[in-house]
Structure 1
Amino acid sequence: MNQTQAQMVLSAAIILRRYLSSRTQNPISSLSSATTSLRSLKTLTAKPPQQADHGNSERGISNDDYFAAIHHISNIVRRDFYLERTLQKMQISVTSELVYRVLRSCGKSGIESFRFFNWARNQPRYEPTTIEFEELIKTLGRTRNWETMWKVAEQMKKQDFVLTPETFSLIIESYGMQGLVDRAVEVFNRMKNFKCPHTTEVYNSLLFSLCEVKNFQGAYALIRRMIRKGGVPDKRTFSILVNGWCSAGKLREAQEFLEEMSRKGFNPPVRGRDLLIDGLLDAGYLESAKELVRKMTKEGFLPDIATFNSLLEAICKSGEVDFCIDLMRDVCRLGLCPDISTYKIMIPAVSKLCRIDEAFKLLHNSIEDGNKPFPGLYAPILKALCRGGQFDDAFSFFSDMKAQGHPPNRPVYTMLIRMCGRGGRFVEAANYLVEMTELNLSPRAQSFDMVTDGLKNCGKHDLAKRIEQLEISFRGV
């Protein structure tokens, strides 16, 4: 093949790939094509990924291959009407690891998961364990397939498997979220038949169900029973009832409850005012939460850092970034030390408003606090600089971050290439594409297309050809 023919093949491959990527694939047809493209599922699913790195290295099985197989099987379970027949035709080595991962992946498909589990149980050399049974029960509860859920629970009981309090908690809450409190109470009472204890977690789930229907009298009675039976309320116990009262606009009742529990010696694991702020935020009373935190800071009291971060996040989402900046200054003067979550909230918020100086100040404070900058912190600043047309500053800052911070990841490079393209900086975009491939980060097809077309439009045909060749060599088209 001469050079001209090679170039024609190269161009045809690029055009064909672009054409195929622009078409909308039929989900069912893509499933059938995936069947032929995957390697033998019997080989791929024979070992979990923890062992694939070692025991399967000689056969070339990687984590990516294993999880691709799991994804493929999960798609069949979710979408194929004749899933049992399709699965039976495939060479699948059924293991507990595989069944568990597929069930987790199909968490929104209750009956389909049940059918898959029954099919798996009929396969040779597979015996279900507690973890698969419980994952199926959780899925059936979430999807309101309660009759089937109880059939599975009874099967577990017959096989001497023990349902954990965590599973019962999820079942109780699944009833509570649908307002079926009587059923939730019934499950709570049936637990003794399964020899499962009433833990604090279980009490909290029933408490949540009662608060969902505003039965605060019953909820408080349940807490008294819990204490009488020797249970110890935890943070969630307090939070559920406080949040419930706050959502009903009963702030006074929430305060009185906290004071009464304190008098009885059951102080919440966090301060009462923090619980009230959290409750107001969960109920959507943002102004009341802001007023309460203003009052706290004026009196010299500091919120818990987790509560403070929740408040910052809610206020930033409402667009009141200036309030957050002022509030942060006030609490820092009082001695509150921001954590990394604080900076993860504030830096993107101020960067989005193109408050570059404020963003750099926050990033500098984060570094002074001992945090090494990671992509989630410096990417918003990069984007803001590019949006403001300050590309030279952005490129210089990016170089500093590569040297001083965590290495940039694929989303950061993709964003930077896209912003360069929007600003007409196609040569720099091409350089970042090359840099990505050198780091073995796979660029998106759209990035190659944008850079190639942009270079051609500005007369950089030789560089455009090099980028096309790079795509071919990297993707193996």
Structure 2
Amino acid sequence: MWRSTGRALVLPRSIRQNFSPNPTPAVVTSSPPSPSKFLNRIYPTFRSSRFFFSATECSPGEDEASHRAENSVKNPDFFSQEVGFSSVELGESNALSKAFGDGADEDEVGEGDRLNSMLELSIDGDALVGAEEVAEEAAAEVPEVNLDQLERVLSILQSTLPQEIGSSLDSLQELQLSEEFVVRVFQDAHVSGENLVSFFIWAIRKEKAAKSSRALDILVRTISACDDASQLEAYMLWDLIKELGKIEGIVNTDMLNELISIFWKLGKAKAGLEVFNKFDEFGCTPDGYTFYFTIEALGKKSMIDTAWSVCEKMLNSGGLPDVEKIGKIITFFCKGKKAKEAHLVYLLAKENNILPGRDALSFLIGGLCRNDESVLLALELLEDCPQESLKYENKTFSLVVKSLARIKDVQAAKSLLLRMVVSGPPPGNAAFNYVITGLCKEGDVEDAITLTKVMESRGLRPDVYTYSVIMSGFAKAGLMDEAFKVFIEAKKKHKILSPVIYHILIRGYCKLEEYEKTLECLKDMKEHTIQPNADEYSKLIKTLCLKAVDWRTAEKLSEEMKESGFYLRGETSSLIAAVKMLEEEITAVE
């Protein structure tokens, strides 16, 4: 299976040893750490790579050796991070990159070319022996972890208070501390974050090699992965990072992001902001997730203005998180009454082809509609609503129609309404009423009537409010005959009318001094079991007294008021008496 004529694939010795019976190693090496949930979302999961794939699986330790050998070629700093070789020993990284380019000179390639040739897959002989040797070399350089010492350290961490860990660990004789040993403790301890931080502080004081970026990174991610991390653990970890941050290259962006995330979960906004402000000092560059976690932490304490200052830095840097988090940032600022600022976030996200979901977009449009000066921005955003989801956006579109009518841009509201009629989402009664009201206020009643016909053609029935708005438009223009026609039509379509409709007629007829029609409207109200209110009685009585000088009718209406449980104000009652006395004086003079 593995050989053909004149060609052979030679398995690395580290893989072939898997077939030897009963391997019993005295010590083990640490496996690669499992990334936290946060890193899983951002970066590829750590994977152990094999040189070959076959039906026979490789043991974890041997597979890791192959992984290290392969990564030594892909990443020139791999050995510096994983094994302990420096970039000087392996050659500069840019020189190593040239080694994999076309037509690179052997003199330019140097050590990088040696690694490349050792790992090169060949089918013409036994060239894979080079890869085998490199795998063995990488495995040999990984510090061994003494299992007995590891168990003793774990036992102390699991049974000792944080303040006593140092003295207890000092009692261990000939403890072989290394980066790999510290990492293995973090992976296997299953103790509180306080104990882990206390152990790490002790370890870096005892052994310089333990003071590594990798060990600190795993410590941070281990504590971050705990849903019940305490404030004390978070602040202990922060103090440790501030101390190690003085050493160049130990603290990185991922660690600080995880720490901000911890403070966010704990509701410690100011602490999260402090971490954010330390990025430059540690030589780290904030990314989209840095900004997101900081904004969320500040949002928990309603520190809207401070969160916006962080968001401005995000916009200036161009670094954005994923689409889900962009949507949350937009929603957060809209709730904080900063819709225009949220709109800037949306524009940058759109420019980077990160389009927030339908809910975030609808929320942003709603936020923009609250302020008169940003309604037109909301109108523009309707163009970004996906065509396939328009059927769910009736409420959003209707809100923009209402807002346009509110700022007296009735023609824009009408155009949007007609667009909804043609291409969706289908408008309901509310959208029509907003535009009809706006048109009537502008005196364009004929257009309003036309829209009612459009409503009916779409299976919608104009409601009482629609009719009352149109009647009000005619009444304001003094066209009471047209208003009465609409009233008659409303009575045909609706068995129950609102007092508002009658109020519009009464006021309109009083304005024209058509008192008989006013009284007929009052009578019609009672026949339809609609009780006139005190205000309508009072206005009608005043009009009859001042303009018609008809104190008799006014007096009858005052009696009706009393029967209905209303009481006439003293000034109105005095007015009736004054008009009556005036008439008597005129009669006496005559």
Give me the TM-score of the superposition, normalised by structure 1.
0.47
Higher helix fraction (1 or 2): 1
The structure with the larger Rg is: 2
TM-score by length of 2: 0.38
